[in-house]
Amino acid sequence: MKDTLTNNSFKDHYCETYPSPLFSHRSYFLVLFIVALLSPPLVLAISPFDDHNDKNSKAFSRPSLSTSDPKNPLQASSPSSSVSDRNHTRIMQMDSNPQTSSEELDKVCIIGSGNWGSAISVLVGRNCQRYDHFETNVNMWVYEEQIPMPDGSTQKLTEVINEQHENVKYLPGVTLPTNIHAVPDLADACRGATLLIFVLPHQFLPKLLPTIRESAHPNCRGVSLIKGLDFDKDTKLPVLISQSIAQAMGPEFQCGVLMGANVATEVASGQMCESTLASNFGPPADELTRLVFDSPTFRVQHVSDVAGAEVCGALKNVIALDTKL
């Protein structure tokens, strides 16, 4: 996929670390202002004038990783739980809607195959092999381009990925799971998908979303890994990208976000990282979605504040730039 179409400049070219607390007052109040617009309750959690008493600390604390039933994949997330136990555990049957049930297997599609998209495919591919409530094969939409080969010839990027199991242009040196299948046709990639993972620059979404909507499962859900904010042309106010996706996909579509201070190469190579999934799909879809990304070296916590998580994910990069990280 082309550089401009796959690599999010925020994600791939700026430092992906937690920001220094010594950033300027100007940036701090910019953060508070934008967060207040999109997620007012979150201001209480980050305000410097709050005493952070026990009540606030409990209200915004992360859920515990401890579980009462280590054999249940909806509860177990500890690395000590055996893989065999998880592989043979089914989630309770509920109805035919894949957002609230595992009556039919979740079919995952990754939309984007740049540096970050290829890195997240390593985790998604392994987890879809690991858990029996996901279809094993994962389609990854790839914007087709010709790759120069050592012998002087050229080969399609999708063919290289499917044959060598490596994105030699955007994530060289990292082996992708064999169940990741690169697909150049967007409609074919998303056909029947129940979980869409958006990981590409947001400016390309308007042209792609109509095709995605027609091809994906009518009850599908989505997770955006896109960092940034859009702006309404009329009001000039910030707009969440997850909301833009949901509006384009239809009234029943819900879109969560996965946000964290992560570097693609570190995630793909198995270095210890963490991230936050924010969604309101309901049980068991929230936990099913978390399991798609979670691994012993990439710990994922779930929260319900989609707006707060998405804004903090975007503003993290603004703070990093201001502090010259």
**Nearest-10 Cα torsion for 15, 140, 192, 303:** -20
Say which residues have a Cβ less than 8 Å from residue 214's Cβ, sequence separation at least 6: 187
CB atoms within 10 A of CB 265: 17
| 25-38 and 306-322 helices, crossing angle to 10° | 160
SS3 (DSSP) at 24:
coil
Cα 162 to chain centroid, rounded = 22
Q: Terminus-to-terminus CA distance in the chain, angstroms?
A: 28
What sign has the CA pseudo-torsion 95, 100, 101, 107?
positive
**Nearest-10 Cα torsion for 86, 92, 96, 97:** -70
Residue for token pair 């074919």: 188
DSSP assignment string, 71-100? T-TTT---TTS-HHHHHT-PPPP--S-TTT
Helices (H), 18-114: 25-38, 40-46, 54-59, 83-87
Catalogue the long-range contacts made by 68-71 (C-beta closer than 8 Å, 24 or more residues apart). none
Residues with a catalytic annotation lie at 316
Tokens of 200: 């590409």
